Amino acid sequence: MSDKQIPFLFDIPSVTELTKKIKSLLEQNFMDILVEGETSNVKQSRNGHYYFTLKDSGAQLPCVIWRSTAQRLDINLTDGQQIVVGGDIQVYEPHGRYQMIVSLVQQAGIGKLQQAFEKLKAKLKAEGLFEDTHKKPLPKYPRTIGVVTSATSAAFQDIRSTLEKRWPVANVKLYHASVQGVNAAGEIVKGIEYFSARDDIDVVIIGRGGGSLEDLWPFNEEAVARAVFDCSVPLVSGVGHEVDFSISDFVADARAATPTHSVVVATPDINEVRFFVEDLSRKIEMNTTGAIELYKDRVRNLAKSHALLVVKQKMDTARNTIQSLQEKLEYRTQSVVRNRKDNLTSLLHSLDKQNPNEPLEKGFTRVWQDDRWVRDADQFNQEESFELEWKSKKISVD
């Protein structure tokens, strides 16, 4: 090209003028559009606005959700969510930067979710999060159980009723969390972290009932998987039906096929414990009785020995001494057996007293209100409906 200046036949726009043209072009042609991707760098300002990047393997799109929109959508975004967003493209002229003003957030479609599932599964497996060496043993006799699920779900009702039958001595602590939708992953993470920080929780159960891949997706979020891995308390994952597998199942210390099965995995059967105690009592009694007979036989054989027969007339005193020792041995042995049986009986009575359904077995009635057992008159609200529970049935009273 020649060094001579080339005369321009048209006006050269300024940066501002060019940016305005770009702004007009983009904003007029990219209104009310949908785009799918993975969230990253999610931040919420003090004013409640969300700023984040929607990305895939080839590009990134800056996005904003204004506070009023976030409140309307009741949304709680976290990094790593696969979502579809809708809104308008806006150009911010001072920075020459375009971004999407989001007005809609939905879960991504099943195809993309399945791809994201396999990708995250491979990533976490490569990091070693699925290894058995990281899995904590479950306690044999848990006294306090933390449950992270929806308070209104059938899954929680199944967990609670199964615990009342299988291991009624346990104290159940519920952390309510959504188990479906874009907010669920963040709430589940908070529930796990809440129980992990406490020192009175023996085991944690997370889960929900069956559903589609979209329904179960919160338990496939990376944030949930890492919260499960970092939990200081042994954790059981019971998500969906028996055929359903989630990322949380692979990371958890134990996987249950259903929420109900999670109780079976996490607790012993109180009836089996009772049988074990009774069986142990019988074995102690049999072993002690056998020892007594053994010593009796030894004494009899000793009394019939040739040496003793020869000097029988001289052994009257010795025989009396042996008889006295035998009686003392029997008395002490029987005393030991009696004390051990009393201790075992006391243990069985203690287990029975822990059974919350014992009053129902005796004909008493239990009052429920707002899914809570009303134990005191101060807890009863006369303005609200309630339920009466007998051993055989439960009725509602309006």
The rounded percent of the chain whose pLDDT value lies above 70 is: 91
Q: Please check whether residues 128 and 262 belong to one and the same domain.
A: yes
Pairwise CA distance, residues 66 & 42, whole Å: 13
Q: Please check whether residues 76 and 131 belong to one and the same domain.
A: no
Pairwise CA distance, residues 221 & 183, whole Å: 11
Query: What's the domain count of the chain?
Result: 4
Which of 239, 266, 293 is the last residue in one of the domains? 266
- Of residues 234 and 396, the one with the higher pLDDT is 234
pTM for this structure? 0.56
Q: Please check whether residues 235 and 287 belong to one and the same domain.
A: no
Residue carrying structure tokens 């396999």: 118
**338-383 tens-digit pLDDT:** 888 877 777 777 666 666 776 777 777 878 888 787 778 787 877 7
Q: Please check whether residues 340 and 369 belong to one and the same domain.
A: no
**Is the pLDDT assigned to residue 290 strictly greater than 90?**
no
Q: Please check whether residues 81 and 183 belong to one and the same domain.
A: no
Structural domain that includes position 294: 270-353
pLDDT score at 326? 82
236: domain CATH number is 3.40.50.261
pLDDT score at 141? 94
Q: Is residue 10 part of a domain?
A: no
**184-200 tens-digit pLDDT:** 999 999 999 999 999 99
Q: Please check whether residues 340 and 206 belong to one and the same domain.
A: no
**16-70 tens-digit pLDDT:** 989 889 988 988 889 889 999 989 999 999 999 999 999 988 899 999 999 999 9
- pLDDT category, 15, cuts 50, 70, 90? very high
Cβ within 8 Å of residue 62, ≥6 positions away: 51, 53, 97, 98, 99, 100
Q: Please check whether residues 98 and 41 belong to one and the same domain.
A: yes
Which of 108, 125, 155 is the last residue in one of the domains? 108
Q: Please check whether residues 205 and 249 belong to one and the same domain.
A: yes
pLDDT score at 4? 58
Q: Please check whether residues 366 and 345 belong to one and the same domain.
A: no
Q: Please check whether residues 24 and 73 belong to one and the same domain.
A: yes
What integer best gives the mean pLDDT of the chain? 86
Inter-residue long-range contacts of 59-65, CB under 8 Å, 24+ positions, other chains counted: 61/35, 61/37, 61/99, 61/100, 62/97, 62/98, 62/99, 62/100, 63/87, 63/99, 63/100, 63/101, 63/102, 64/99, 64/100, 64/101, 64/102, 65/102, 65/105
